[in-house]
Amino acid sequence: MIQFTLRKFRFSDAESLRKHADNERVARFLTNQFPHPYSLRDAEEFITCVMNDNPAKIFAIVINEEVAGSIGITP
């Protein structure tokens, strides 16, 4: 079983997010707004945007100490 944690994003998550999001198979199943290739700048801009949400609505999915993606929770 894969164990994961949901938590708020940190600026230090940018490289890990870029690594996992820069995948054509990921981009293919998301909206046209999801860039491919996914750059470090894309990750930094996304993290900056979601860190400004108060209360937080988008959280990092952390597996093995790396951010593998995100999930939104909207009340």
Per-residue pLDDT of the chain (75 residues; tens, 9 = 90+): 889 999 999 999 999 999 999 988 887 777 777 888 999 999 999 999 999 999 999 999 999 999 999 999 887
- In this prediction the pTM is 0.87
Between CA 73 and CA 75 the distance in angstroms is 7
